[in-house]
Structure 1
Amino acid sequence: MPTKQLHTKEQIWDFLREVTDPEIPVLNIVEMGIARKVEIDNLGNILVKITPTYSGCPAMNAIEKLVVEKLEEREVENFKVKLDFAETWTTDWMTEEAKSKLKDYGIAPPEKTEEENDFLKNLSKTKVIPCPFCDSFETKLVSQFGSTACKSQYYCNNCEQPFEHFKCI
């Protein structure tokens, strides 16, 4: 009788690093801070917790499916993937490497979140976002929403490139 292959937490984390965000394929779900926890109980049952970037994020169903597919591909057994809403995802959970990859991909990365979390008050503030292509601060907000709700649309007056900014959440 074949023995069940047991996987370590480190292996599961490595597998999760192979799952990319369907909306931003240069980032994986670990460096984005979406994959939050891997738990293995004394029977070898695995629980993977993922936190949505926001409660209505349309990519979360796809991400959950991609996690399941990756773990099955890696022959992981007895696992469950759980959407975890216990904590509110923040762009502060993104690694510096993820922010650098965003910039290289042409999306202005988020800054650190502000102490002031009043959404309406912050909406009235116009942030100066540097262009990811030429690093110019001569940019202007075109729309609060870009191709997805988590990004806004900007235009660089220096290099004349439109670009998106991953909003601080």
Structure 2
Amino acid sequence: MVTATALEAELLQLAGSVPDPELPVLTLQELGVVRAVRLHDDDTVEVDLTPTYTGCPAIEAMSVDIEQVLLAHGMREVTVRTVLTPAWSTDDISPEGRRKLREFGIAPPRTRGAFGPVPLSLGPTRTDDGPTTEPSRPIEPTELTDPVRCPHCGGADTELLSRFSSTACKALRRCLACREPFDHFKEL
């Protein structure tokens, strides 16, 4: 394992301090998407950035913002690489990031912790012959830890209104206690 130099650690902190373009209340470090910084010369740096999902439209804005911050810090050349392995997970969001999401009115994703990945059950599919004998139904993520809590009142009794909200990574829910709608950052 290669140990980062003091300058690489500083550049990693700078790259991580960039606000997320879709959720500016979070930094890229708190979101957990800036993975590594490698210094190749005294003024040439390469940054590994993992999107929250493969088609994330914000990846280009994140890359440009990271480049600007590091160029302003004296780097002559900045390369931001999109790295898909290991895949980003909502478990990569820091505790501070989760706190900020809640304060911003967005329910943070539940942590999977020691339970591992969100289970997925595959059912029958449709073919050219028409539907299978078993009806198709949407599969909900199994609640492995806490329920989705309302960021307004803290209530645990919430309902799903829409699988998608303002961005593909969020769902729209409503609290049954205070009746307020809110975004929920979906677990990945």
| Fold in common (TM above 0.5) | yes
- Counting only pairs closer than 5 Å after superposition, residues 25-64 of structure 1 correspond to structure 2 as 25-41=24-40, 43-44=41-42, 45-64=44-63
DSSP-derived class of the 1:31 partner? helix
What is the CA deviation profile of residues 61-108 of structure 1, one whole-angstrom value per residue up to 9, with x for unaligned ones? Answer: 111111111112222223211111222110111111100110010000
Which residue number in structure 2 is paired with residue 3 of structure 1?
Answer: none
Letter in 2 for 1:93: D
* Contact 2:21-2:58 at 8 Å conserved across structures: yes
CA distance in 1, matches of 2:90, 2:121: 15
Does the CA-based 8 Å contact 2:71-2:77 persist in structure 1?
Answer: no
**Distance (Å, rounded) in 1 between the aligned partners of 2:103 and 2:94:** 14
Q: Counterpart of 1:133?
A: 152
State the match for 1:9 in structure 2.
Answer: 8
What fraction of aligned residue pairs are identical, expressed as a percent?
Answer: 34
**Deviation at residue 119 of structure 1 after TM alignment:** 6.7
* Equivalent residue runs for 1:102-121 within 5 Å: 102-113=101-112, 114-118=116-120
Q: Any idea what SS the aligned residue of 2:173 has?
A: strand
Residue 3 of structure 2 aligns with which residue? Answer: none
- TM-score (norm. length: structure 2): 0.79
Please give the per-residue CA displacement for 1:29-71, whole angstroms capped at 9, x wherever unaligned.
0111110001123x33311000010000111111111111111
Aligned equivalents of 2:76, 2:83: Cα separation in 1:
21
Larger Rg: 2
Structure 2 unaligned regions, length at least 5: 1-5, 124-137
Contact 2:119 2:142 in 1 (8 A): no
Q: Is 2:188 the counterpart of 1:166?
A: no
Q: How far is 1:15 from its partner? A: 1.3
RMSD (Å) for aligned C-alpha atoms: 2.0
Structure 1 residue runs without a partner (length 5+): 1-6
| SS state at 2:84 partner | coil
Aligned to 1:124: 140
Residues 125 and 80 of structure 1, relative CA distance in 2, 3 Å threshold? closer
Moved over 6 A (4+): none
2-structure distance, mates of 1:9, 1:56? 28
Alignment match, 2:78: 79
Q: Are residue 147 (structure 1) and residue 166 (structure 2) matched?
A: yes
Deviations, residues 106-131 of structure 1 (Å, cap 9, x unaligned): 00001123534427688335754110
